[in-house]
């Protein structure tokens, strides 16, 4: 997906994603596109752009960034509803930025997830940026079967709690690189395979779900394609 800051400028969705399209063309066997949607450009334009990116360019996810684009979940439903409905129709998981106030609290996703039970939502950053709302993210996911937790920013103790609360089937590996490093976050996932109390004793196939299987299932792609 494009860097979120670029998408603040209200130019066009195509302009926002030019660098992503170039990367996909150069590495089609290694990169899958995600549509970063600034909802202020309008639902009609967003739906049209989704059709283009998904059907013509193979994009397989939608990203919503309420903090960068400045909008509230439920208060933005008149714009959000057709976007989420169309993403669900196209089979796209919805990545939702979380971890900061006032727009990015995990609890703000709960009523949206309940309103759209057929949609799959991924809480980015495990509810954490400079302040951690990881426990809130875990609670929201535990109450809603269609909410997943992306592991980037999540410290190991919270990742253990996440696995114990919702299972490895609902965690998705992420790093938020380059702000964060890949190696340290990969090590946290590996540590979940350690015996207690350091880890939770996950088996190799359970770690594989977190590292690739869960997101591949949600995106409807085969891990071998990457």
Residue 135: inside a domain: yes
**What's residue 39's pLDDT?**
96
Task: State what percent of residues in the chain have pLDDT above 90.
Answer: 91
Residue 186: inside a domain: yes
Q: What's the mean pLDDT in 201-207? A: 97
CATH number of the domain encompassing residue 191: 3.20.20.140
**What's residue 212's pLDDT?**
94
Residue 121: inside a domain: yes
Q: What's the mean pLDDT in 143-148? A: 98
Q: Is the pLDDT of residue 205 over 60?
A: yes
Q: Is the pLDDT of residue 223 over 90?
A: no
Q: Is the pLDDT of residue 225 over 90?
A: no
DSSP for the chain reads ---GGGGGS-S-HHHHTHHHHHHHHH-TTT---EEEE-GGG-HHHHHHHHHHHHHHH---EEEE-HHHHT--TGGGHHHHHHHHHHHHHTT--EEEE-SBTTTB-GGGGHHHHHH-TTS-EEEEGGGBSSSB-HHHHHHHHHH-TTEEEE-TT--HHHHHHHHHHH-GGGEE----TTTS-HHHHHHHHHHTTSPTTTS----HHHHHIIIIIHHHHHHT--GGG-
Q: Is the pLDDT of residue 96 over 70?
A: yes
Structural domain for 101, as ranges = 93-221
How high is the mean pLDDT of the chain? Answer: 95
Residue 153: inside a domain: yes
Q: Is the pLDDT of residue 226 over 50?
A: no
Q: How many domains does the structure of the chain reveal? A: 1
For the stretch 54-92, pLDDT in tens is: 999 999 999 999 999 999 999 999 999 999 999 999 999
Residue 201: inside a domain: yes
**What's residue 224's pLDDT?**
60
**What's residue 10's pLDDT?**
83
**What's residue 214's pLDDT?**
97
**What's residue 141's pLDDT?**
98
Read off the pTM.
Answer: 0.96
Residue 18: inside a domain: no
Q: Is the pLDDT of residue 129 over 50?
A: yes
Residue 55: inside a domain: no
Residue 10: inside a domain: no
């Amino acid at each position: 997906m494009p860097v979120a800051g670029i998408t603040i400028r209200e130019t066009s969705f195509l302009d926002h994603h030019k660098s992503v399209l170039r990367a996909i063309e150069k590495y089609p066997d290694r990169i899958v596109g995600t549509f970063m949607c600034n909802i202020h450009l309008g639902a009609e334009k967003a739906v049209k752009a989704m059709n283009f990116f998904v059907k013509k360019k193979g994009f397989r996810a939608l990203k919503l960034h309420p903090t960068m684009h400045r909008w509230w979940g439920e208060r933005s439903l008149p714009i959000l509803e057709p976007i989420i409905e169309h993403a669900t129709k196209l089979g796209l998981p919805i990545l939702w930025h979380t971890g900061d106030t006032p727009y990015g609290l995990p609890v703000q996703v709960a009523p949206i997830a309940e309103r759209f039970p057929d949609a799959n939502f991924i809480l980015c950053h495990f509810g954490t940026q400079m302040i951690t709302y990881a426990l809130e993210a875990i609670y929201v996911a535990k109450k809603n079967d269609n909410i997943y937790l992306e592991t980037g920013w999540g410290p190991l103790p919270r990742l253990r709690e996440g696995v114990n609360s919702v299972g490895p089937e609902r965690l998705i590996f992420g790093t938020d690189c380059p702000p964060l490093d890949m190696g340290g976050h990969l090590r946290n996932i590996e540590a979940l395979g350690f015996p207690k109390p350091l880890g939770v004793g996950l088996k190799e196939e359970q770690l594989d779900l977190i590292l690739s299987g869960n997101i591949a299932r949600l995106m409807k792609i085969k891990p071998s394609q990457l």
